[in-house]
Structure 1
Amino acid sequence: MSAAVLEQPVLGSRRLSNVLVAAAVSTGGLGFLLASLSSYLGRDLLPLGHPAALIFVPQGLVMGLYSLAAALLAIYLWYVIAVDVGSGVNRFDKDAELVTISRRGFRKPIRVDIPLKDVKAVKVEVRDGFNARRRVSLRIQGRRDLPLTRVGEPLPLAQLEQEGAELARFLGVNLEGL
C-alpha cells in the first residue's frame, strides 16, 4: 500500500461478548429442553432441582416452548457470528480519488463508493448517558453523515479522537465535533 491509500479494518459481530451471549442462550435453551423432557418422562435429566416433579401440562410444555425460542435465538446468534456481520474495511484512496466503505451483510456484501471531493469533514460524535454513542463519521455533501466505526461497544475516547484526527489529516479536511 502506498502513502496515498489508508485502510481501516472494522470489527464485526465476531467478538467475545457475542460468543458468550450465544453460548449462554444455547446453554439456557438446553436446560429448558431437559427440564421439559424430565417433566414429560418423569425422570430427572438435570443434576439440579427436581424437574420431574413438574406437571407436564402446562409447566413442562411451557419449558419446551422456552427451549424452542432459545434454540431459534441461538441459531440466529451463531449465524451472525459465523458470517461476521458488520465486518469490513474503510478504504480511502487519494490516487483514485475514492472512498470505499465495505461491510458484510446478512445475505450479501454492502459497498458504498463516494468521490473524495464530496467529503467535507470528519465528524467525531460523543454522546454519553443511557444510549451512549461514540463514533467517527464522514460529512458528505448532499448526503447524511456516513458512520465509519463499528457498532456495539463504544470506543475509548482517546482512540476515537486519534482515529478522527488521523483521518482528517489524511483527507485534508476539517475535524468537527471536538
Structure 2
Amino acid sequence: MLKAISESKKVKSKSFSLFSQFQSTAVSISNMNWRSEHIWIELLKGSRKRGNFFWACILFLGSLGFLAVGASSYLGKNIISVLPSQQILFFPQGVVMSFYGIAGLFISSYLWCTILWNVGSGYDRFDRKEGVVCIFRWGFPGIKRRVFLRFLMRDIQSIRIQVKEGLFPRRILYMEIRGQGAIPLTRTDEKFFTPREIEQKAAELAYFLRVPMEVF
C-alpha cells in the first residue's frame, strides 16, 4: 500500500515537472523565440502584422471611395450620398479619381494576398549539436512557395549587420556563408524598435554560433 502511494506521488511529481516544462516551452515559443544550450529556434511572423491589416483596409476603403466618385461623375448622379460628386467633371477629374481607385485596389489586393499566404513567415533553426542551420520561409504560390535552406554550421563565417541611413534608416541582419554569400535573416521592411535591439540579437546569435560579428 505504501509502495503504491509512493509510486503515485512519483508519477504526479513527474507529470507536474513535464507540465511545467511544457508551459515554459510554450511561453518561449509564443515570444517567437525558443533557445536551449544546443538549439536556437526563432519563429518569424511574416506578413500577418497589424500594420499590414491596417493599410490593406485603409487602401481598400479609400479605393472604393475614389471609384465611387469617378463613377458618380460619369453617371451624373451620386452613388453614395456622403460623397457629393455631381459638381466634379468626368474629364479630367473623374478619370483621375477612377485611376487612383483602380491602382489602390491593385495595391490592397496585393497586401491581402500576402496576408492570406503569410508571405515571409517561417523559422530559423540553429543546431549546435548536429552542426546544422535550417532556414525556412513561406513565399508566393508557385515553385518558390516553400523556401528551405540547409547549411553546415562550420561554413558560417560571420554575422553581419548592414546599416542603411537616409530618410528611412534600417538595419538588416545577415549570415555570411562560405561559398553562398550573405543570407538575410530579417526582412528588409522589418523595423526594430531601436538599433540596440538588432545589435543585441546579432551579438547573441554570433556568440551562440561561435562566429565574429561585423557591421558594414
| 8 A Cα contact 2:73 2:89, kept in partner | yes
- Normalised by the size of structure 1, how large is the TM-score? 0.87
- Aligned residue number for residue 67 of structure 1: 101
Q: Distance in 2 between matches of 1:160 and 1:140?
A: 20
1:170 aligns with 2:193: no
Aligned residue pairs: how many?
178
Classify the secondary structure of the residue corresponding to 1:76.
helix
| 8 A Cα contact 1:11 1:150, kept in partner | no
1:132 aligns with 2:169: yes
* Alpha-carbon distance change, 135 to 58 in structure 1, aligned in 2, over 3 angstroms: closer
Q: Percent identity, please.
A: 35
Q: CA deviation at 1:27?
A: 1.4
- Aligned residue number for residue 77 of structure 1: 111
1:13 aligns with 2:50: no
Classify the secondary structure of the residue corresponding to 1:51.
coil
| 8 A Cα contact 1:121 1:173, kept in partner | yes
Classify the secondary structure of the residue corresponding to 2:86.
helix
Task: Return 5+ residue gaps in structure 1 as ranges.
Answer: none
Q: Distance in 1 between matches of 2:119 and 2:128?
A: 28
Q: Distance in 2 between matches of 1:129 and 1:174?
A: 27
| 8 A Cα contact 1:40 1:52, kept in partner | no
Q: CA deviation at 1:166?
A: 1.1
* Alpha-carbon distance change, 124 to 65 in structure 1, aligned in 2, over 3 angstroms: closer
Residue type of the alignment partner of 1:172 = R
Classify the secondary structure of the residue corresponding to 1:64.
helix
| Structure with the larger RCO, 1 or 2 (CA within 8 Å, 6+ apart) | 1
| 8 A Cα contact 1:121 1:168, kept in partner | yes
RMSD between aligned alpha carbons? 2.2
| 8 A Cα contact 2:69 2:83, kept in partner | no
Deviations 1:140-175 (A, max 9, x none): 112221111233143221211211111111111112
Q: CA deviation at 1:97?
A: 1.5
Equivalences for residues 1-178 of structure 1 within 5 A: 3-48=37-82, 50-107=84-141, 108-155=145-192, 156-177=194-215
Greater mean alpha carbon deviation, residues 33-42 or residues 162-171: 33-42
Q: CA deviation at 1:58?
A: 4.5
Residue type of the alignment partner of 2:197 = Q
- Normalised by the size of structure 2, how large is the TM-score? 0.73
Q: Distance in 1 between matches of 2:215 and 2:73?
A: 59
Classify the secondary structure of the residue corresponding to 2:111.
helix
Residue type of the alignment partner of 1:92 = F
Deviations 1:97-137 (A, max 9, x none): 11111111112011111111100111223332235231221
Kindly name which structure, 1 or 2, has the bigger radius of gyration based on alpha carbons.
2
